[in-house]
Amino acid sequence: MADTVGVKLEARGVTVHYRRRRSEDHFLAVDRADLEVGEGEFVCIVGPSGCGKTTFLNAVDGLLPLTGGSLVLDGRAITGPGPDRALVFQQPSLLPWRTVLGNVIYGVELRGAITGAEARERAQRHIELVGLKGFEDSFPSELSGGMQQRVNLARALTTDPEVLLLDEPFGALDAQTRETMQLELLRIWNQTRKTAIFITHDIVEAVYLADRVIVFTARPGRVKMSVPIGLPRPRDLRIKREPRFLEYELKIWESIREEVMRSNDMEERVA
Amino acid sequence: MAVTDRATTRVAPRSGTIVEPAPVLAVPKPDTWFKRNESKVIGTISVTTFLVLWQSLGFVRAAWPQGIVLGGLKLAVPPTLFLPVPSEVILAFRDLVQGGELAQDVAVSLQEFAIGYVLAVVVGVLLGLGIGWYRRFSYAVDPFITFFYATPRIVLLPLLIIWFGIGIWSKIAVVFLGAFFAIVINTAAGVRNLDANLIKVARSFGATDLQLFRTIALPGSVPFVLTGLRLGIGHALVGVVVGELVAAQHGIGRLMAIAGSTFQSDKVFAGLIIIASAGMLTTLLLQRLERRYEAWRPRAN
Ligand SMILES: Nc1ncnc2c1ncn2[C@@H]1O[C@H](COP(=O)(O)OP(=O)(O)OP(=O)(O)O)[C@@H](O)[C@H]1O
Ligand SMILES: [Mg+2]
């Protein structure tokens, strides 16, 4: 799918170091990651915990400076956050003094492209989309973790970005809500066909959602494998039981397992 | 079959088998009037008891002016001069009001407090925001703030009197210095302790520095600012009273100083009550404000 349409995002040798607070050395989190994401492609990234997935996504959002390589979006190097991208954070990260509506509107409010009644109307639509109708005036402290996470998602969707970056957005949800949200997300995505980069720990979720699943190596993260998912769309939830689906699942699972084993070996040898 | 719909079972027991509805454990009973007002009731009782005991000192004093002799022990009752009872304080208060000077003293003290405190709030909050926001600026001013905060500002009083005279301005200055540092330090701490995640969110959605300040820093530091304002009240009141005790033409502190040096302890008490009421009233107002701004805070229970 990526070959037929233009390249939206191009990561070449992306390297990110974190500055360590107490020592002089730098901590390598992502090491020369290469990735191409096509226009309108849905890419899922999976990989062992702490391998640098969040770091990579934050770099794509423009929140972290690269220490090597390049990130190019629509032919322009990424130098900071922009209205063409929106990030759904791993933690809900809601403003506790704002209501649900106030939080969902926050993104568009900062961007300033649309204001007033129009912004409110759009926020309202996305609140309904994520199933939070009736909670517009609730404060985050009055919501469950899963509901907060849905506000986080609605906030990003409301800004109507070209590229949607999602960092384990459904990680905190229970199994049922999670599947509902997957369905909803695919429905939204089917309508708009926005480019999406979606991080998850859940291999089933990855295969179900993605055009392509990227497996990251153990830290420092790089791209280990790219698995195009040739399942037809629109995808029904029952597709998760089909042999082809299970084959993809197994392939990815083995690849991740190999990484986890390898990094454990490495740690043992160091110890 | 046994566990059918409980509601229907209860209304129409089928074939003799009565399925008892599950016992509902620990239904929270509606709080009684006493429980809802527990703190106020107990507080009122304790204060009333205290006042009654204190007042009864006056009756003892009237009945046994020479003190009570118990066996070989003679218990002296402190004279009015030493410890007036509440009714005497009220009388002194009435005399002060009727005498006409009280109004002026209150007006002067209030003026000193209000001007000094409002100045401290305005300058303190603005400066505190600046210190919290601009790291380099904080490096520049922190030494001074630490120095003054560690010093009791009252010791500057002689200097302030030289600079500003014995009129209201020396007191305004000491009130200002008293409240200012608590406000600055708390405000700056509020801005420094912002949630890093929220800053990231704002940045991700392209917030400018000004937007970040307005939408994250300002609301995020409100609880800290209010704490600073509340602490500032105490310092400001100390400033008013001590300032006037040392050198003043009018004011509650001056009234108390004169009453004290002429052994009119009932008037001293009257002044003390005015000051205490002013402090309590302002604190109460601030607590109201705090509650309004913290509607979003999770309730502890
Ligand atoms: N702000 C930071 N400062 C220093 N090191 C960091 C920071 N954030 C993350 N790291 C380190 O970088 C590595 C990658 O972190 P990252 O959050 O990108 O992992 P992740 O793949 O998203 O993990 P998970 O799946 O558990 O969310 C981790 O080992 C972590 O310790
Ligand atoms: Mg992560």
Burial class (CB in 10 A: 0-12, 13-18, 19+), B84: buried
Q: Which atom of ligand 1 is nearest to the CA of A20?
A: 4
Burial class (CB in 10 A: 0-12, 13-18, 19+), B103: exposed
Instruction: Provide the β-strand partners of residue B89.
Output: none
Ligand nearest to the CA of A219: 1
Q: With an 8 Å Cβ cutoff, are B206 and A97 in contact?
A: no
Please tell me the pTM assigned to this model.
0.77
pLDDT the model gives residue B207? 93
CA gap A37, A194 in Å, rounded: 11
CA gap B159, B235 in Å, rounded: 18
Please report whether residue A21 resides in a domain.
yes
Q: Which of A182-196, B67-81, B253-267 has the lowest mean pLDDT?
A: B67-81
CA gap A195, A90 in Å, rounded: 19
Residue B174 has pLDDT above 60, yes or no: yes
A265 in the same domain as A207: yes
Residue B14 has pLDDT above 70, yes or no: no
Taking residues A194-212, report their average pLDDT: 95
pLDDT the model gives residue A271? 62
Peptide bond into A220 cis (omega under 30): yes
A234 in the same domain as A179: yes
Closest residue, chain A, to B292 (C-alpha)? A97
pLDDT tens string A154-178: 999 999 999 999 999 988 788 888 8
> Which of A220, A214, A218, A199 shows the shortest CA–CA distance to A252?
A214
Q: Determine which of A84, A87, A93, A148 to mutate to test the interface with B (most B C-beta atoms within 10 Å).
A: A93
Taking residues A122-144, report their average pLDDT: 91
User: How many angstroms separate the CA of residue A50 from the nearest CA in chain B?
Assistant: 18
CA gap A97, B43 in Å, rounded: 33
- Phi, psi of A131, rounded to the nearest 5 degrees: 75, 35
CB nearest to B204's CB, from A87, A96, A141: A87
Please report whether residue A234 resides in a domain.
yes
Please report whether residue A129 resides in a domain.
yes
Burial class (CB in 10 A: 0-12, 13-18, 19+), B67: middle
Show the tokens assigned to A129.
Answer: 């989309």
**More confident site: B1 or B31:** B31
Q: To the nearest whole number, what is the mean pLDDT of chain A?
A: 90
Burial class (CB in 10 A: 0-12, 13-18, 19+), B86: middle
Beta strands of B25-97 (E only): which ranges? 68-70, 73-75
Of A120, A144, A160, which residue constitutes the final position of a domain?
A160
Show the tokens assigned to B59.
Answer: 């009756």
Please report whether residue A89 resides in a domain.
no
Q: For residue A215, what are the CA distances in angstroms to A3, A53, A222, A224?
A: 20, 10, 8, 5
CA gap B229, A216 in Å, rounded: 52
A239 in the same domain as A125: no
For the domain bounded by B86-296, which CATH number is listed? 1.10.3720.10
A179 in the same domain as A73: yes
A227 in the same domain as A210: yes
Are B266 and B88 contacting, i.e. CB atoms less than 8 angstroms apart? yes
What is the DSSP track for A151-188? HHHHHHHHT--SEEEEESTTTTS-HHHHHHHHHHHHHH
> Which of A169, A16, A155 shows the shortest CA–CA distance to A78?
A16
User: What percentage of chain A has pLDDT greater than the value 70?
Assistant: 97
Are B202 and B216 contacting, i.e. CB atoms less than 8 angstroms apart? yes
- pLDDT band of B23, cuts 50, 70, 90: low
Are A154 and A99 contacting, i.e. CB atoms less than 8 angstroms apart? no
Please report whether residue A2 resides in a domain.
no
Amino acid symbol at A17: H
Show the tokens assigned to B258.
Answer: 């004169």
A129 in the same domain as A50: no
A170 in the same domain as A154: no
Nearest CA to ligand 1 atom 9: A55
Q: Is B196 on the interface with A (CB under 8 A)?
A: no
CA gap A197, B228 in Å, rounded: 45
Of A107, A138, A160, which residue constitutes the final position of a domain?
A160
Q: Which atom of ligand 1 is nearest to the CA of A47?
A: 21
CA gap B126, B145 in Å, rounded: 15
CA gap A107, A112 in Å, rounded: 9
Q: To the nearest whole number, what is the mean pLDDT of chain B?
A: 85
Show the tokens assigned to B131.
Answer: 């210190």
Separate counts of helices (H) and strands (E) for chain B: 13, 2
* Percentages of chain A per state (helix, strand, coil), in multiples of 5: 40, 25, 35
Please report whether residue A231 resides in a domain.
yes
Residue A34 has pLDDT above 90, yes or no: yes
What is the DSSP track for B213-238? IIIIIHHHHHHHHHHHHHHHHHHHHH
Taking residues A43-62, report their average pLDDT: 94
Count Cβ–Cβ pairs < 8 Å, chain A vs chain B. 56
Bridge-based pairing state of the strands A7-19 and A68-73 = antiparallel
Please report whether residue A46 resides in a domain.
yes
Q: With an 8 Å Cβ cutoff, are B296 and A81 in contact?
A: no
Domain count for chain A: 2
* Percentages of chain B per state (helix, strand, coil), in multiples of 5: 75, 0, 25
Specify the DSSP class assigned to residue B75.
E
Taking residues A13-17, report their average pLDDT: 93
pLDDT the model gives residue A270? 66
pLDDT tens string B51-87: 999 998 888 888 887 777 777 777 777 777 788 888 9
Q: With an 8 Å Cβ cutoff, are B295 and A139 in contact?
A: yes
User: What percentage of chain B has pLDDT greater than the value 90?
Assistant: 36
Residue B43 has pLDDT above 60, yes or no: yes
Nearest CA to ligand 1 atom 25: A49
Please report whether residue A210 resides in a domain.
yes
Closest residue, chain A, to B217 (C-alpha)? A95
Residue B12 has pLDDT above 50, yes or no: no
Nearest CA to ligand 1 atom 26: A49
- pLDDT band of B4, cuts 50, 70, 90: very low
CA gap A257, A260 in Å, rounded: 5
Q: How far is the CA of B158 from the centre of ligand 2 (A)?
A: 60
Taking residues A227-239, report their average pLDDT: 91
| A11 Rama sector, left if φ>0, alpha if ψ -120 to 50, beta otherwise | beta
Q: Which of A92-96, A241-245, B2-6 has the lowest mean pLDDT?
A: B2-6
Of A137, A160, A183, which residue constitutes the final position of a domain?
A160
Domain that holds residue A152: 94-160
